[in-house]
Structures are given as C-alpha cells and as structure tokens.
Structure 1
Amino acid sequence: MASPRPTSRILSRGDTVGFLFFIVLGVGLAVWAVVHSVITIIEALPNRDVRVAAPFLDTVAQAPLGPDGAAVPVELGSGVVVASELPLASLWALVIAETLFAAVVVTVVALLLVLTAGILRGRIFSRRHTVIVSTVGVVALVGLAGVPFFRNMVANGALARISEYTYERGLVQTVDLPVLFGAAFVAALAGTVFSVGDRLQRDTEGLV
C-alpha cells in the first residue's frame, strides 16, 4: 500500500493554521466544560438555595415594563429559580447531568483532536478516522439527549419543591427533538462521507 502523501501536498498553510487554531479552541472548550461542571456541582452539593434553570409552559408573570415601571403580564418561556433545597433524586440528577456534560465535551474534543492530528500528518480518510467520526456522532447524540433529560429532572424537582408539589405547568421535557434529529443526520452523513472517502482512497492506492 502506498504511504500517505506529505501534509504539504494536501493542506495549505492556511489549512494548517486553521487546524492548529481548532486544537487550541478545542482544548479551551474542554477545560471550560470541566471547570463549569465542577463549579456547578460544588455549589449545588450543600443543597441550600440552589439556582436552577427551569422551562415554563403557559406561565404568566408580572414584569415592570409599563409606564413608570408599571407591572405588565409576560409569558415565561424559561427562567432561573432558587430552591431552598432539591429533592435527593433531583440533586443526583444535577450531578449526573453536569458530569455527563463534561464527559461528552471532553470526549468529543479529544476524538476530534486525534482526527485533526491524523489529518495534519497527511492522512484524511482512513478506517481509523471513519471510526472516530462515527464515535463522535454517537457521543454527541448521547449528550444532546441525556444532558437535557437530567437537567429537566432537576428543574422539575426544584419547581415541585418550591410550590410544595402543586405547580405542574413547568413540568415539560426540554430535549429539542429537531436539534437531536438534525445532529443525527449530520453524524450519519459525516460517517458516510469518511467511509466512502476511505474506500475510494484505498481503491486509488491499489491502482498505484
């Protein structure tokens, strides 16, 4: 089998700079995700005055938007509530959600950095890269479905505790199905492209 072509024949200097910037950005994103999740978990673990982002459905509140700050009704779509404490199940859901979020971001970034390193070495399509791209798609889908699911459990628990289990209009699922299906389509398309590219490259190398 022919050896991969030199990187200089595949990537321009601009491409290389772009990939290097991507590496720096990816490392920064992974660090931010871990720090954000750790801080969120540490702040929540005492289980006192926990700030929780919550979705709302058909919920009207008063806001000082009228003349001279007069209150006018507004319909809430989302907001942040402060629960004196969370039910134990919701507290564990918060820990799981933040841990999963950090794990997914770090895993996706790490895999994409491995892919980037392979491309910088002059090999774009290969079976290894196809596996990496497919794995990135699966991990991303797990994150897009799992993180909102557990965060929704946290919000439900916070709203239930604040209202003494009488408020139900905010108990809605926050998994964005169009985004999830769109991500699944992109992941499947990327995996197919790399798979076809690898097959074509192996066929071309077999003719050399």
Structure 2
Amino acid sequence: MDNRSAHPSLSEAVALGLVATGAVSIGVASVFGAVGAGIEIFGSPVPVSLPVDGAQMASLSDADGIAAAEYTQSVVSFESLDAGTRWLLLAEAALPALATVIVCASLWWLGLSLIRQRAFRRSMVPMLATAALALIVTGMTGPLFGAIARAQVVEQLAASGADTEGFWMFLYELNPASIGWGIALALVGTAFEVGQRLQRETEGLV
C-alpha cells in the first residue's frame, strides 16, 4: 500500500491543522463575545442602539462639499430595562454566536477528518446540515428578536414622556449574508452525501 495516498503530506497536515485551530479559536471568541454582551445587557446602565429615521446632522449640513448628512443610529443608555427586553437583546447577540460555534465545530471536525483521510464519514453530513440550518435560522430570528426589543424600548421611552419622533417604531433588517452562507453550506453537505454514496458503491465493487 502506498503510504503517500493513505496520509496527507506534512504541508497539507499543517494547513488542515491551522484551519481546525482557527475554527476553534473563532468559536471560543464568539462565546466570549456573547458572554460580554450578556454582561452589558444585564448590567446597568444598558446601552441600546436605536435606529433613527434619517435625522439631520446639523453640524455637517452646511459644510462645503456635503450634499446631505443624517443620523441612522442613536445609542441610548437606560438605568433600568425590563427583563423581557433584555432577554430579546441577548438573543439577538447570542444566536449569531451560537451559529458561529456550530459552524466552527463543523469546520474543526472536517479538518480533523481530512487529516485522518476520512472525509466521508457518516457524521459529516448531519454536522454540515446542522450548521447550515443554524446559519439560516439565526440569520432570520436574531434580527427579529432585536427589532422586537427595540420596539419595546421605544414604547418605554414614549411611556416616560420622551419625544420618540424620528425613532423607528419597528424596523426588521434581515441580513441575507448568513442565509446565503447557510445555503452554500447545505450544498457542501449535499456534495458530501453524494461522495459517501459513491464511496459505498466503490467499496461494494471491490
């Protein structure tokens, strides 16, 4: 048996090891980011970024060479915020981090499988499918939770007597990037499923 066909070269093993290590590092960083966001959200004061419906930026409106200047975000810090709104804001931050962890775990497992020359193991397709589903679902629900939370924050401002003119009452901004990556990852999973079937057919002929 030719050992060169059974094991990756040193450069390939190093590259795959770096990919696996990078995936783990990104996953850990995502977890720490979500934890930091949770500490900030459940602390006091609570900074909330609220979308603004095109408020004019007077300091630049009359400057030479400036056609228009508007604010699109306003950060408002609250001394108190109800628990439901805090949990929605946490879900907005935590769901993308969860999807990142799942994708990184899939990449780590893929890198390890390639090092061991077992890319078409049975667990690979379910892992890739789970990662693809996580990207699509969190890409849709994360912004929705954030939009609901910010709508509640604007309602709280209005109830306190503050002028909420200019703030969006409800703004759901869908990021299609994560959905596109999820679809691409699902196609990769389909390719691995086809590879598994071809491998079984090949082994059956031997």
TM-score greater than 0.5 by the shorter chain: yes
Corresponding residue number in structure 2 for 1:41? 38
Closer/same/farther in 2, CA of residues 198 and 91 from structure 1, 3 Å limit: same
How far, CA to CA, are the matches of 2:108 and 2:91 in structure 1?
A: 25
How far, CA to CA, are the matches of 1:68 and 1:181 in structure 2?
A: 40
* 1:122 is the counterpart of 2:117: yes
Q: Which amino acid aligns with 2:37?
A: T
Corresponding residue number in structure 1 for 2:149? 154
Cα deviation digits, residues 85-140 of structure 1 (max 9, x gap): 33332112123333434333223222321222112100122322112211111122
Cα deviation digits, residues 4-51 of structure 1 (max 9, x gap): x6222xxx44432222122222222122112122122112213x3311
Pairwise CA distance, 1:180: 5.1
How far, CA to CA, are the matches of 1:19 and 1:142 in structure 2?
A: 29
Q: Which amino acid aligns with 1:200?
A: L
TM-score, with length taken from structure 1? 0.78
Identity of aligned pairs, percent?
Answer: 27
Corresponding residue number in structure 2 for 1:50? 46
Alignment match of 2:180 (pick from 172, 179, 182): 182
Pairwise CA distance, 1:198: 1.1
Pairwise CA distance, 1:194: 0.9
How far, CA to CA, are the matches of 2:79 and 2:69 in structure 1?
A: 25
CA RMSD between the two structures: 2.9
Corresponding residue number in structure 2 for 1:16? 13
Corresponding residue number in structure 2 for 1:200? 198
Corresponding residue number in structure 1 for 2:104? 109
Q: Which amino acid aligns with 1:6?
A: A
Which runs of 5 or more structure 1 residues have no equivalent in the other structure?
none
Q: How many residues align?
A: 197
How far, CA to CA, are the matches of 2:29 and 2:58 in structure 1?
A: 34
Corresponding residue number in structure 2 for 1:171? 170
